[in-house]
Amino acid sequence: MRIVTRAENPQDGVILALIFDGVSYKNEFEELANLKIDDIDYNNGRITLPNRVISISEETKTILISAIESTEYISIKGNKRKYVLPASEYVLKSPREKKQIPVSIISQRIVRVSKHFDLDFLNATTISDSGQLYYASELLKVGTNIEDVIPSIIKRFNINENASARNKLRSMIDVNLADLQKNTTSYDKNYNSNIEIEIIERDIDAEQAEEDEYYKDGATQYFHGKRYERNSTNRRRAIEIHGLSCKVCDFNFEEVYGKYGKDFIEVHHIKPLSTLNKEMKINPTKDLVPVCANCHRIIHRNKNQILSIEQVKQIIRDTTKKHSNL
């Protein structure tokens, strides 16, 4: 767990490790903020949470010990300064105070790690998603049926049990199923894992970038499996060029959902980033197209046979024609 162990402060690294292992980041990091030292069972390698008990890895146990024993925190504001961390009953310590850590500080610490390692995609959601796929792979490796894997992961990560959550998790597993089944021996908590975790395009905040005609994309980044960095400036430019309607089915979120759908659409890389071995120049006019979430999922549903825009259009035409003839 390179990022976790290389974080400047164990108090930062332990946040990533705990989220990866299943401590929920929802409800403003409530479980993380409330986690007490007495909740840790080192002998049996598990953590007791309000509504469940989860196992933790040896790596997480090690970083937990370091975080709990930490007596100082190195700040990054201006010149580096060290702050004394008071003794506390909580795992995550609040600077200068013995009470619970403010949730804003937890968020800031994740951002700090992201910036320190230049990993723009790194956030609580992507850390949790990586953990969900890792533990799904562990269950698949021992022959657990996928129908049993899904509720197990939902329980471990304290995900609200509903159809949407099950479908999202199933989709993530389906996209990576071949790799999870074939390569589980090499799929571990290693940033240089051979497994490519292809998470469908996220609607991320634009990062500052040079206003150049084209921007490099496909730069490989690592966190619990190989990921491919999306340049958000490319995404913004593609939307400016192509508009906010799906290029497959012409769906427009704002037309259907009003203000709640304003400026919302996903962006599809015509050449999947997971097939790139190095950085390449992305032309937002030719290489990117806006698509709705449904069409995007269908395009990527089978990782070994990613569909083209025209193929999905033809599927829709054929299905529509079939229904009209009924």
Whether residue 197 is contained in a domain is answered as: no
For 113-162, write each residue's pLDDT tens digit. Answer: 888 888 877 889 889 988 999 999 899 889 899 899 999 999 999 999 88
Mean pLDDT of 38-53: 96
| Whole-number average pLDDT of the chain | 78
Whether residue 163 is contained in a domain is answered as: no
List, in sequence order, every residue forming a beta bridge with 281; answer none if it has no partner: 216
Task: Read off the CATH number of the domain in which 30 is found.
Answer: 1.10.443.10
Domain boundary among 47, 82, 116: 116
| Contacts with 321 (C-beta within 8 Å, 6 or more apart), sequence order | none
Separation CA 187–CA 178 (nearest Å)? 12
Whether residue 106 is contained in a domain is answered as: yes
- The closest alpha carbon to 19, from 6, 9, 32, belongs to 32
Mean pLDDT of 167-186: 66
Whether residue 169 is contained in a domain is answered as: no
Beta strands in the chain (DSSP E): 40-41, 46-49, 52-55, 72-75, 81-84, 215-217, 220-222, 226-228, 266-269, 280-282, 288-291
Confidence class for position 214, pLDDT limits 50, 70, 90: very low
Give the sign of the dihedral formed by CA 2, CA 304, CA 315, CA 268.
positive
Tell me which of 38-52, 86-100, 130-144, 171-185 is least confident.
171-185
The DSSP secondary-structure symbol of 283 reads -
- The closest alpha carbon to 4, from 138, 191, 200, 246, belongs to 191
Domain boundary among 83, 116, 149: 116
Q: Show the domain range for 69.
A: 2-116
- Give the total number of structural domains in the chain: 2
* Bigger pLDDT: 19 vs 318: 19
Whether residue 170 is contained in a domain is answered as: no
Whether residue 155 is contained in a domain is answered as: no
Confidence class for position 53, pLDDT limits 50, 70, 90: very high
pLDDT beyond 80 at 285: yes
Whether residue 178 is contained in a domain is answered as: no
Strands 215-217 and 81-84 come out as unpaired
* Confidence at residue 20, expressed as pLDDT on a 0 to 100 scale: 94
Domain boundary among 116, 133, 156: 116
pLDDT beyond 90 at 212: no
Mean pLDDT of 106-114: 89
Whether residue 286 is contained in a domain is answered as: yes
List, in sequence order, every residue forming a beta bridge with 66; answer none if it has no partner: none
* Confidence at residue 182, expressed as pLDDT on a 0 to 100 scale: 54
Task: Look at phi and psi of residue 137 and say left if phi exceeds 0, alpha if psi is from -120 to 50, else beta.
Answer: alpha
Angle at 208 between CA 205 and CA 213, to 5 degrees: 110
Under 8 Å between Cβ of 229 and 120: yes
Mean pLDDT of 176-180: 61
- Indicate the pTM of the whole model: 0.58
